[in-house]
Amino acid sequence: MTADLLDMLKEQDLPYLKDWLNSKQPYEIANELLHADAAGMALVFRLLDKGKALAVFEELDPSDQQEILAGLRDRAFRELVEGMDPDDRARLIGETPAKVARRVLAGLSPHERQMTAALLGYPEGSAGRAMTPEVVALHRSLTAAEALNVVRTKGANAETVYTLPVVDDGRRLVGITSLRDLVTAPTDRRVNDIATMDFVSARATDEAEDAARLMRDANLLDLPIVDSEDRLLGLLTIDDAVEVLEEAETEDAYRQSGSEPLAGSYLLAGIWMLATRRVPWLMLLFVAAILTINVLDHFEENLAEVTALALFIPMITGSGGNTGAQSATSVVRALALAEVRVRDVPRVLWTEARVGALLGLALGLVGIVIGLVFADLQLALVIAISLLAVCTWAAIVGGCMPLFAKKLGIDPAVVSAPMVATLVDATGLIIYFMTARTILGL
């Protein structure tokens, strides 16, 4: 367990490295590669045998694959891209510069090139891009025994033979059966009678993310993908669906902190890519923060009169931001899991208002003590009342904004903790100073 690819690469201990590569699963090697540099990656790929090199390669993200391809000679390059699954290859081509894409396509046999081109015809992020076109389709008139023979002869190239789509003469999808049902059915039974006709499918132009969520909800191993006339095009397999969901989760996680997701892995990203992914939202929020300057500018006289008011500004705005972020996260997550819908706005509003008030009450009680320690009773009251109002308001804003975003066709996850915090900051300050004016009689 103490052996480490990086150390072995540094010490150029090739025999030991070869042993290590033989003893590890492809996904373990791929994970280790993410920490190596370009020269190290190239060395590893020269030492791996053909089959394992392909398996390791397919575990990597397209942007990391690109780095490896750049370091390979023509023959090794061609062997890798020819061996890839068509959907993985389409993904690689879709996410690399045109020059690399052309080199990949040029290295392919006509059959593989044609399959890849077909997948590339579907928009990025669609179910069509992510599906495998290599499926074993069964004609509805076959018997179970005949169908099993089809699986035996045609199954070798297919990514899966567990979900078996049933089609009619026009290759229209009419049912679904499984290898399990085929194996246990009487040999002379017709596929048409074994198959279930009550199945779910998706269009090739549907979002891959929606198709993957459907698979998760309906507990499917594979989802048939059809065209607009219900003709079978391929299958979305569960391992690809898991990957699609993982990417969606990563995107949500990044958006929720006000940044755009990276292409590829963190350590290989480089500071320029990291900065450019983060700067748009950061700048937007920065400019939005001008509102807070305006508000404080407006109340500058009060601030000059009671300097102690300034002491509690970060605490008030911070609590509002935190409360709002909690609400936003609950609702964004509930939307992602389809637990909440846009029309639930009134229920969410009413729920969050009461939760926010409860939280504001709790903070307000502690706030009185803090106010008494650092100032006087009057200011303590200002703090407590402000916290109650700010938390209630922040919870409502945080809870409802993701629903409005969804309604407007915007990804609800962009309603991030930083965005809610920034929006609530200015209104929180207004609440704070208006309360102060009333109670302190300014």
Closest CA to 329 of 245, 427, 412, 425: 412
Residue closer to its own copies by CB (options 118, 313) is 313
With residue 167 as reference, give the H or E element that holds it.
strand 163-167
Which amino acid is present at 169? D
Q: Is 24 exposed, middle or buried (0-12, 13-18, 19+ CB in 10 A)?
A: middle
Residue closer to its own copies by CB (options 109, 250) is 250
Q: How far apart are CA 372 and CA 317, in angstroms?
A: 19
Residue closer to its own copies by CB (options 107, 330) is 330
Residue closer to its own copies by CB (options 115, 147) is 147
- What tokens were used for 214? 């459907």
* CA 336 vs CA 76, 157, 265, 398, 430: distances in Å: 42, 35, 24, 16, 33
Provide, rounded to whole angstroms, the least separation between the CB of residue 136 and its own copies.
11
Provide, rounded to whole angstroms, the least separation between the CB of residue 170 and its own copies.
25
For residue 81, the tally of other CB atoms under 10 A from its CB is 25
- Angle among Cα 298, 299, 303 to the nearest 5 degrees reads 145
**129 Cβ contact partners less than 8 Å away, ≥ 6 residues apart:** 87, 90, 91, 94, 119, 120, 122, 123, 208
Residue closer to its own copies by CB (options 28, 77) is 28
Residue closer to its own copies by CB (options 3, 245) is 245
Provide, rounded to whole angstroms, the least separation between the CB of residue 121 and its own copies.
26
Provide, rounded to whole angstroms, the least separation between the CB of residue 110 and its own copies.
27
| DSSP 8-state class, residue 153 | H
Q: Beta-strand (E) ranges in 198-333?
A: 202-203, 222-226, 232-237
Provide, rounded to whole angstroms, the least separation between the CB of residue 249 and its own copies.
5
Provide, rounded to whole angstroms, the least separation between the CB of residue 410 and its own copies.
18
- What tokens were used for 204? 């090739």
Pairing of β 232-237 and β 222-226: antiparallel
Closest CA to 221 of 294, 295, 164, 145: 164
- What tokens were used for 272? 């320029």
Provide, rounded to whole angstroms, the least separation between the CB of residue 228 and its own copies.
18
Provide, rounded to whole angstroms, the least separation between the CB of residue 265 and its own copies.
4
Residue closer to its own copies by CB (options 100, 315) is 315
Contact 119, 131 (CB under 8 A): yes
Provide, rounded to whole angstroms, the least separation between the CB of residue 198 and its own copies.
8
Residue closer to its own copies by CB (options 86, 258) is 258
3-class DSSP assignment, residue 202:
strand
Q: How far apart are CA 104 and CA 92, in angstroms?
A: 9
Provide, rounded to whole angstroms, the least separation between the CB of residue 387 and its own copies.
9
Number of helices and strands (H, E) in the chain?
24, 6
Residue closer to its own copies by CB (options 107, 393) is 393
Q: How far apart are CA 171 and CA 289, in angstroms?
A: 58
Residue closer to its own copies by CB (options 45, 254) is 254
